[in-house]
Amino acid sequence: MNPSTNAKMKTKRHFNETASDYSNSNDGKFVQPMYEALVKEINRTPGGKLLDVGCGNGMLFTFLSEEHYEMFGIDFSENMIAEAEKACGDKASFYVADAEKLPFDGDTFDMITCNASFHHYIHPDTVLMEMNRVLKPGGMLIIGDPYIPAFVRPLMNVLTKLSNEGDYHFYGMKEMKKHFLKNGFSPISAERTGEHTALYTAKKI
């Protein structure tokens, strides 16, 4: 098994194991405070088709109105998708899928969100290219992710390779901007949303 596949399987295994009680896990408790900033940013838009990449147990959709958004979620973990379907019912459509190969036609979505998931992706540029492909021209991308101070980040990015939770790489704001520009996005904003979290927004060019 090559290193990339091994890292992906580690992520899948971790989230399959924690899915049934994710909200009470360390990951779930870390994610909870991030929803407020994410939902506030989403609600700046008039609505449309929304895709949540790395949707986990579907918690984001419980904060959104189905009158304004047609909601779709993908996750690599089968157990997380099962939990999302239980939590949301027919409010959203869910798919087990790899973020590097989104199961949708091009120019489908008005908005893509990705909360506390991007730092798990082994090939971030491949994921961003896929996000760009399925977004409509001018579509919005919103990424919430952990924030690690610059002086600690290099060490953390070495230690993550030893993690059993599937963490892979933590990004700074300048690095995220470079990834956006490289993959067909125009960066809009990058801001701290808490002591250990940040929110990045961009538009498909």
Interacting residues of 100 by C-beta distance below 8 A, sequence separation 6+: 121, 123, 126, 127, 130
- pLDDT for 2 equals 67
- The tens digit of pLDDT for each residue in 138-191 reads 999 999 999 999 999 999 999 987 878 889 999 999 999 999 999 999 999 999
Q: Of 1-5, 52-56, 155-159, 193-197, which gets the smallest average pLDDT?
A: 1-5
What's the confidence (pLDDT) of residue 10? 87
**Residue pLDDT, tens place only, 84-140:** 999 999 999 999 999 999 999 999 999 999 999 999 999 999 999 999 999 999 999
Query: Is 1's pLDDT higher than 80?
Result: no
Name the band, by pLDDT with cuts 50, 70 and 90, for residue 58. very high
What values do phi and psi take at 196, rounded to 5? -125, 20
198, two tokens: 């940040």
Instruction: For residues 28-41, give the mean pLDDT.
Output: 93
Residue 18: the pLDDT is 93
Give all strands of the β-sheet with 135-146 in edge-to-edge order: 92-96, 69-75, 48-53, 109-115, 135-146, 197-204, 185-194
CB contact at 8 A, 94 and 81: yes
DSSP state of 104: S
